[in-house]
A and B are shown apart, each in its own frame.
Chain A
Amino acid sequence: DAGVTQSPTHLIKTRGQQVTLRCSPKSGHDTVSWYQQALGQGPQFIFQYYEEEERQRGNFPDRFSGHQFPNYSSELNVNALLLGDSALYLCASSLAGTSSGFTDTQYFGPGTRLTVL
């Protein structure tokens, strides 16, 4: 049973560029959440997708957007990259259904390390 997978593993971009990160949830899971983790800090919640819609959103600007596909996989898009966007981006999946998606066990992927120069 495949766990959560993310691609790419590493990415280098320059300021002002746009980036798309991808996530495939654990088999059978219907909810995907995205987090940003700066070095030495805890993950920060970006947003959560369920039934192809953004269900919850953390305190991140509109430059951060996402999408969920019918197969439950998800993308995170970041426009107009800033140096401060350099971080590990984590995807977590859960089987939430109509619950919040946070009270169930979240399974995290290995992350995508984004470096903005």
Chain B
Amino acid sequence: GQSLEQPSEVTAVEGAIVQINCTYQTSGFYGLSWYQQHDGGAPTFLSYNALDGLEETGRFSSFLSRSDSYGYLLLQELQMKDSASYFCAVCGNYGQNFVFGPGTRLSVLP
């Protein structure tokens, strides 16, 4: 089967940097994605890593280590609007399945 672990909650202040970790277990790994979901809203795609290394998109960066089955999402220059739930998701089973993690609730304080 496939499983993912991520912290349930993270709190940080405006302007700070926060890292949300994700560890996964899967066979036939294809890639790791990150999604943001505000309360009452739909998940929004943030990033996708298929290869080891860091992908940067504006204030958000995502990292993947396939050998460690580990990835993280790095959010810089935090803003109040970044308060949301963040989900990692793994595409596994050679592209046949897509499993979301339990989510990390980020609270950004003034």
Q: Which residues of B contact A (CB under 8 A)?
A: 30-31, 41-45, 48, 50, 87, 89, 91, 95-103
* Known contacts A42-B102, A45-B99, A56-B96; A103/B42 CB under 8 A: no
Quick check: which of A11-19, A63-71, A78-86, A106-114 contacts chain B, the rest being far away? A106-114
- B95 contacts A106, CB within 8 Å? no
CB pairs A–B below 8 angstroms (11 shown): A33-B98, A40-B103, A42-B103, A43-B43, A56-B98, A100-B30, A100-B95, A101-B95, A102-B95, A102-B97, A108-B42
- Decide if A110 touches B43 in the complex (CB within 8 Å): no
Point out the residues of chain B lying under 8 angstroms from A110, CB to CB: 41-42
Residues of A within 8 A of B44 (CB): 108
Q: Are B98 and A45 in contact (CB under 8 A)?
A: yes
**Distance in Å from the Cβ of B45 to the closest Cβ of chain A?**
5
With a cutoff of 8 Å between Cβ atoms, the chain A residues found around residue B101 in the complex are 42
Instruction: Chain A residues near B91: list those with CB within 8 A.
Output: 100, 102-103
Cβ of A58 < 8 Å from any Cβ of B?
Answer: yes
Answer whether residue A90 sits at the interface, using C-beta atoms and an 8 A cutoff.
yes
Q: Which residue of A lies closest to B46 (CB)?
A: A105
Question: Is A44 at the interface (CB under 8 A from chain B)?
Answer: yes
B42–A44 contact, CB under 8 A? no
B60 to chain A, nearest CB (A): 14
Q: How distant is the Cα of A100 from the Cα of B29 in the complex, in angstroms?
A: 12
* A105–B41 CB distance below 8 A: no
Chain B contacts for A108, CB-based, 8 A: 42-44
Q: Is the CB of A41 within 8 A of B42?
A: no
CA distance A45 to B100 in the complex (A): 8
Determine the residue in chain B with the shortest Cβ distance to A108. Answer: B42
